[in-house]
Structure 1
Amino acid sequence: MAAHVTDNPDKSRFEVTAGDDGTELAGFAEYFLSEADGEIAFTHTEIDARFGGQGLGGVLAKAALDAARERGLAVLPYCPFIRGWIGKHPEYTDLVPESRRATFGL
């Protein structure tokens, strides 16, 4: 199954599509973007139950965090899933401002 992640700024979320034809919305990671502060706050991540257990949450988190890195944005992981994913992938901890890491348990 092919998965594809895109940023949907109109809905303030990254979306992952999958399914037989790769076009079904399988989940999303909502965010609040503050370009003035150079920050993106992830607030909620959800994967449709039909796509659960297929690793799409990780695909979504990695793509969203890679996009934040490419844009030079600091990440505020309010979403427990994104925060937990960063905790399991310490190479992404640098995206969270050092002064805020303790707040997020990182």
Structure 2
Amino acid sequence: MADHFRDNETSNRFELDVDGTIAFVTYRKSPDTITLEHTVVPPELGGKGIGSKLARATLEAVRAQGRKLTVECEFIQGYMKKHPEDNDLLGTAS
């Protein structure tokens, strides 16, 4: 299985391409912050840990961009509860 992660700024989403099928997290960016809105994992990728891989790669991308994070997406919220080491990315509530 070949996985390819990218920040598709044209579509405002982080994408994980798994053998031609795309899972993604939609976002809104401002100069200092990024808001993660919604995660979509197509049914054919379900149950394979793709959502967690996408969440991990997304948080690493946010960290690399030096932005603070607001999370509206329930999936990412759940992931972060299991991985509190990423809570330093969280910005103040707006």
- TM-score interval for Structure 1 and Structure 2 normalised by the shorter chain: over 0.9
Distance 1:41 1:58 in 2: 18
Runs (4+) off by over 2 Å: none
The number of residue pairs the alignment matches comes to 94
Q: Does 1:41 align with 2:53?
A: no
Quote how far apart the aligned CAs of 1:3 are.
Answer: 1.5
Aligned to 1:72: 66
Quote how far apart the aligned CAs of 1:25 are.
Answer: 2.7
Distance 1:55 1:61 in 2: 10
What is the TM-score normalised by the length of structure 1? 0.83
User: What residue identity is the alignment partner of 1:5?
Assistant: F
Q: Does 1:63 align with 2:57?
A: yes
Can you give the 5+ residue segments of structure 2 that lack an aligned partner in the other structure?
Answer: none
Q: Percent identity?
A: 37
Cα RMSD after superposing both structures:
1.4
Quote how far apart the aligned CAs of 1:48 are.
Answer: 0.4
Can you give the 5+ residue segments of structure 1 that lack an aligned partner in the other structure?
Answer: none
Deviations 1:10-62 (A, max 9, x none): 0000111112xxxx133100000011xx0000000000000101111111111
Distance 1:14 1:7 in 2: 4
Distance 2:77 2:7 in 1: 19
Q: Does 1:25 align with 2:21?
A: yes
Distance 1:15 1:43 in 2: 13
What is the TM-score normalised by the length of structure 2? 0.93
Q: 8 Å contact 1:73–1:95 — kept in the other structure?
A: yes
Distance 1:9 1:72 in 2: 16
User: What residue identity is the alignment partner of 2:62?
Assistant: A
Larger radius of gyration: 1
